A and B are shown apart, each in its own frame.
Chain A
Amino acid sequence: MAYDKFNILTSTAVPLPLENVDTDQIIPARFLKATKREGFGDNLFRDWRYNSDNSLKEDFVLNNPIYSGKILVGGKNFGSGSSREHAAWAVYDYGFRCVVSSFFADIFKNNCLNIGVLPVQISPEFSEQIFEAIYDDPKTEIEVNLPAQTITILSTGAQESFEINSYKKENMLNGFDDIDYLQNIKGEIESFADGLLL
């Protein structure tokens, strides 16, 4: 499924400084029954956002009008657990285009890259700086520059660079997905398969 190209994103950010935020929190399993990719943003962090009677949990950050933006800043080991791409869809469909953390779980990170959410891994120290800046001033803007591979706290000028492999970077910049690439080398894949025992 095609997604919007990613270039330079400048936005306020939503802080979620908990560690080990797992995919069952990002989207609980009971919301995985759809056969289409629709409505997942409504159930992002469902059980942290809503009480069992569907009223809002006032103390959860997504329900706090002070914080908003297209960048979600999480704690260490963000996205651990299940391979459900629904977690990345929920993040994207809610309106986030970038998740920042000092450490990502593998499959979640991979899923994000495949659907157009940029995972930006930064040092624990820089993560602390971002949280401080947002708590000091929720209007603080963060600039995520994919071409330059930098993330900057605009109010302080503090900056760090981040890693992304050149292939995935090119895909994100152009809104391409892997399937386009694979389709183009199908002949090579078929020759490879012909040589297999099983």
Chain B
Amino acid sequence: MSKTLFDKVWDSHVVRKIEGGPDVFFIDRHFIHEVTSPVAFLGLKSRGLKVLYPERTFATADHNTPTINQHLPVEDPLSANQLKALEDNSNEYGISHWGLGHQKNGIVHVVGPENGITFPGATIVCGDSHTSTHGAFGAIAFGIGTSEVEMVLSTQCIMQPKPKKMRINVNGQLGKGVTPKDVALYIISQLSTSGATGYFVEYAGDVFENMTMEGRMTVCNLSIEMGARGGMIAPDETTFAYLKDKPLSLKGAEWDKAVAYWKTLKTDADATFDKEISFNASDIEPMITYGTNPGMGIGISKHIPKAEQVEGGKATYKKSLDYMGYNENDSMIGKKVDYVFLGSCTNGRIEDFRAFASIVKGKKKADHVTAWLVPGSHEVEAKIKEEGILDIITEAGFSLRQPGCSACLAMNDDKVPAGKYAVSTSNRNFEGRQGPGSRTLLASPLVAAAAAVTGVVTDPRDLI
């Protein structure tokens, strides 16, 4: 029977099917971090259970870590306590732990791929919804709750009904200044924040085939923002070239054997999807959001839609624009920007810093803008220095912080003050996401850079 890529990976990980219920689903790789794992370990302890396969779980501290002075003790006692709990639990159960200060430390969805922990055909979970990032490698990867973290620790399985399947095709040539982030924000704006709920997405078409692995990660990362549990892209030579010789990738004959299998991970020509949607690359502009969910995005040259032009409740729409301090039909170009955040599991990789630097090179940061440039990992940080990007951004009046999730969810001190506007390369513009009362405009690293040097929302195509 013909199968999709998703079917092939899913079906090969079903330990047992339950009549009228979920599948018992085996997990190859499990990432844990300090925020969603402590209660799972408490559960294990109270039940007297062990970790079944500690070598399949990887711990890194990222959500609740400072992005300056990481060599000093963490000041906030609650945060310090969470970090200690992750370290203690990892040590007690024999789990690899890349804590604060470790050279491999960084955002879980950045360090997993860059170390070769992620691989095609794998099933990957983490107590974090942006686990969908790893789908870029042709893995089934999705976020889980803490109860499920406990299940994976103790049995390496969770219980999941198989989602429906959707394919999103984007073909054609992307225009100047249009990045993978814009492709994703465009798709979400077309489908809405719940348009793919209940589905697992496969991204197909030449736009994704021509993307780098980092671009694919950005796209798959944002799958959750249209409601999908995850999104994936068939592995190809780009995938294999990225993974070859990564520290934890297979080597020699084992690598060759794995690649031979990974090459079979493609949707069969006559396989069918529950839903299939196609877009033209040429319709996509640099994007920016104007509201309080990631579906509220428009091309940067467009005006904010009127209430009657959008689906859904008018009261909810009005509440959202009121929160943002915007009006229907406003132009986004020229809107004041107070903060710029470059980073997160969505756009905290080296290509994102290269893109940012390409715009700010030879210019100066706008005086009133506070900019937080936060690499996704120490490896990204090292490349920023090696490639001379640090010199470019320093010359332009920016400084570099240390790795972590930072202002994406503002659990640490990187909080945007109430009422202030932040152009952010992260993934969510919910009310208060970047600090109580903060207002977030999601965009690509190019749009963020353009805002950082002009101090207002600016079309990056004017600066390229």
**Minimum CB–CB distance for B82 against chain A, Å:** 6
Contact between A80 and B258, CB atoms less than 8 A apart:
no
Could you tell me the dominant secondary structure of chain B's interface residues?
loop
Residues of B near A32 (CB, < 8 A) are 35-36, 63-64, 411
Cα–Cα distance between A113 and B204 once the two chains are bound (Å): 33
**Hey, what's the 0/1 contact readout for B42-60 against A, CB within 8 Å counting as 1?**
1100110100110000000
Q: Does B79 contact A (CB under 8 A)?
A: yes
Cβ-defined partner of A188 (8 Å) among B16, B21, B36: B16
**Minimum CB–CB distance for A181 against chain B, Å:** 7
Contact between B229 and A24, CB atoms less than 8 A apart:
no
Residues of A near B76 (CB, < 8 A) are 33
The range of chain B's interface size is: 35 or more
Cα–Cα distance between A192 and B28 once the two chains are bound (Å): 11
**Minimum CB–CB distance for A11 against chain B, Å:** 25
Residues of B near A83 (CB, < 8 A) are 36, 127-129, 131, 143-145
A65-73, A140-148, A165-173: which lies at the interface: A165-173
Q: Does B146 contact A (CB under 8 A)?
A: yes
Contact between A47 and B431, CB atoms less than 8 A apart:
yes
**Minimum CB–CB distance for A121 against chain B, Å:** 11
Cα–Cα distance between A82 and B39 once the two chains are bound (Å): 17
User: Residue on B with the closest CB to A104?
Assistant: B197
Q: Does B81 contact A (CB under 8 A)?
A: yes
Q: Does B115 contact A (CB under 8 A)?
A: no
Interface hub of A24, A86, A115 (most chain B Cβ within 10 A):
A24
Contact between A167 and B119, CB atoms less than 8 A apart:
no
Cβ-defined partner of A35 (8 Å) among B15, B53, B85, B261: B85
Q: Does A10 contact B (CB under 8 A)?
A: no
**Minimum CB–CB distance for A41 against chain B, Å:** 15
Contact between A105 and B227, CB atoms less than 8 A apart:
yes
Contact between A167 and B227, CB atoms less than 8 A apart:
no
Contact between A110 and B20, CB atoms less than 8 A apart:
no
- Given known A-B contacts A22-B430, A28-B436, A165-B22, A33 and B316 have beta carbons under 8 A apart: no
Contact between A80 and B21, CB atoms less than 8 A apart:
no
- Report which B residues bind A (CB closer than 8 A): 15-16, 18-22, 24, 26, 28, 35-36, 38-39, 42-43, 46-47, 49, 52-53, 63-64, 76, 78-79, 81-82, 85, 119, 122, 127-129, 131, 142-148, 150-151, 154-161, 163, 193-194, 197-198, 224, 227, 229, 250, 257-258, 261, 293, 312-313, 315-316, 319, 409-411, 418, 428, 430-433, 436-437
8 tightest A-B CB contacts, nearest first = A167-B21, A83-B143, A85-B145, A166-B20, A35-B38, A111-B145, A33-B78, A114-B147
- Report which A residues bind B (CB closer than 8 A): 1, 17-20, 22, 24-25, 28-30, 32-37, 47, 52, 75-77, 80-86, 88, 103-107, 110-111, 114-115, 165-168, 177-179, 181-183, 185-186, 188-190, 192-193, 196-198
